[in-house]
Structure 1
Amino acid sequence: MLASLLLPAALSAQSSSALTLWKAGSPAFGIFVPSERAPGATDANGKRLPPLYTADGAKALGANPLHDYLFLNLEGAYDVEAVKAMVAGLKASSGHPTLLVRIPTIEAAGAELTRARVKEVLALGAEGVVIPHVRSASEAALAVSFFTDLRANVWSPKNPAGTVIAMLMIEDKGAVAEMQAIAAVPGYSLLSCGIGSLTRDMGGDAPGAETACKNVRDAGAKLGMPSMMTANDKTIGDRLAKGYLGLLMAGTAEQTDAIIRTGRELAKRK
């Protein structure tokens, strides 16, 4: 089957830490993959250099037993070499965290390029793709079609044996208004909210954005889908209490390790 071709055995989602946890209804803890380039680094002409991801860096991240998943954020600039490096490093690693790749928006890239990127990311060996800034139920259905047209074996409420993760993100007021219809679109794995983008779209109304994100979480959970949310040392307890099952951290290794340890203790995970 095509789906089996899309997931090389070395990075099969069947051994995926996050997917196993989510199937059991348990929280999974992950991090934004950090760039290995110094912040603000420039070339000889003063041009800012893009983020750098290497196989060695991925191997080290994969070996950290605290990482259930790794979130490679390529929304701002798609970089196929970054995906290749991450997959190569994780294949050589002693651990098996889930690799999720966030690609640019459908609005920015267009449907056909986004479709091609979903195919490419999965074919390279990532276990999941994140589609950001889904604006409507019709766009959610379009996003799901990128996976179904590949015959990807997407884990979803109607396919509990699935092995591919498809995550859609709601990040603006218009999409929040359509959250129930977006949640009702069949064929994907996680419905999540981008708290930073949504807060900006709501004019800086942080409490309102938090409430909206919780409502998005509830809409997905009602239909059997987990939700991912960023967390830090001050919010990890609240995020878990509200039922978020994908906790996503950023910071230094020491910072994210400490937050994850706290989260695992709160979640009563060893």
Structure 2
Amino acid sequence: MNPLLRRVRAAEPAVGPSTGLFLLWPEPGIAELCATLNVDFLVLDMEAGVLSRQDVLRAIQAVAGRDATVLVRVPSHEPSHIEHALDAGAHGVLVPKVDTREQAERVASYTRFPPEGRRGVNPVRASGYFSDVPGYLARANSEVLCLVQIESAEAVEEVDAIATVPGVDGLFLGIGDLAMSLGQPGVTTGPQLDRARERTLSACRTHGRLAGAFAYGMDAAHAYAAEGFDVLAVGNDVKLIREGVEGLLRELAPTRGAGTAAEVVQ
């Protein structure tokens, strides 16, 4: 079973939200490293990152056997993007910029085989390279995870309708784009975003969907967890590398003038 779905269905409130990272760079070793840590999910980001389809496959292969859910944020609503991610063996997809019920219906249909949806039958790696196609087809619809992103003022107004769509397993707030749509670019706090989170959480609770969000900082992550979000992304590989290097440089700052550059580096 999809590890994230297994964890969520266990219904253990004390565990807290599932936490994970977005990966922007096409380096499978980064995905492999992250999967060895205690993260619940990884999002291979084809929308904001520089990953190709081959990069996605390599990253999925790199984390095989690890207890982390692998999602692919597809670059658009095109069925070929969604189907390729699932055929390559991703546990699910994160679909950006879903503003209406009609859009949600279309993208959800591409994640399920008939009669529940319209996904094409070509599960290459997902079926063990065609070693168990009947078995995969029998279980895929109940194990694939489809999260749609709420990233605009229009989507916030439509969250209740979007949450009723069969095959939509959760709503995931894209806080940065949502802030832009609400007229406050780069400002990820405030009454409008509080209202958006409240409406999204309410829709998810009413219709039995997962509620997710990208947290810009640990204060936000703790606040969203306290509010009851089920799935939280707490950063990406590029941001974490930058913060790590900056932290090291700050620690070295008092000593950098005490010796030669070579001595400091050593």
Give me the TM-score of the superposition, normalised by structure 1.
0.70
Relative to 1, partners in 2 of residues 1:255 and 1:224: Cα closer, same or farther, differing over 3 Å? Answer: farther
Give the match for residue 172 of structure 2.
192
CA contact (8 A) 1:122 1:129 kept: yes
Give the match for residue 244 of structure 1.
229
Relative to 1, partners in 2 of residues 1:96 and 1:209: Cα closer, same or farther, differing over 3 Å? Answer: same
2:143 is paired with a residue of what secondary structure?
coil
CA contact (8 A) 1:78 1:104 kept: no
Query: 1:32 is matched with which residue: 6, 22, 31?
Result: 22
Q: Does 1:85 align with 2:58?
A: yes
Specify the structure having the higher radius of gyration (Cα).
2
1:211 is paired with a residue of what secondary structure?
helix
Q: Does 1:150 align with 2:136?
A: no
Relative to 1, partners in 2 of residues 1:254 and 1:239: Cα closer, same or farther, differing over 3 Å? Answer: farther
CA contact (8 A) 1:58 1:85 kept: no
CA contact (8 A) 1:55 1:86 kept: yes
In the alignment, the residues of structure 1 paired with residue 99 and residue 242 of structure 2 have an alpha-carbon distance, to the nearest angstrom, of 36
Structure 1 unaligned runs (5+)? 1-13, 36-52, 107-113, 153-158, 257-270
Relative to 1, partners in 2 of residues 1:195 and 1:249: Cα closer, same or farther, differing over 3 Å? Answer: same
Give the match for residue 67 of structure 1.
39
CA contact (8 A) 1:141 1:185 kept: yes
Relative to 1, partners in 2 of residues 1:218 and 1:229: Cα closer, same or farther, differing over 3 Å? Answer: same
Identity of aligned residues (%): 24
Q: Does 1:105 align with 2:76?
A: yes
CA contact (8 A) 2:213 2:231 kept: yes
Relative to 1, partners in 2 of residues 1:134 and 1:34: Cα closer, same or farther, differing over 3 Å? Answer: closer
Give the match for residue 130 of structure 1.
94
Shift of 1:254: 11
Relative to 1, partners in 2 of residues 1:243 and 1:117: Cα closer, same or farther, differing over 3 Å? Answer: same
Give the match for residue 141 of structure 1.
105
Deviation per residue, 1:134-168 (Å, 9 max, x gap): 1211111111111221289xxxxxx9x92110011
Aligned residues: 208
CA contact (8 A) 1:84 1:124 kept: yes
Structure 2 unaligned runs (5+)? 112-116, 122-138, 245-266
2:63 is paired with a residue of what secondary structure?
helix
CA contact (8 A) 1:183 1:191 kept: yes
The residue type paired with residue 30 of structure 2 is G
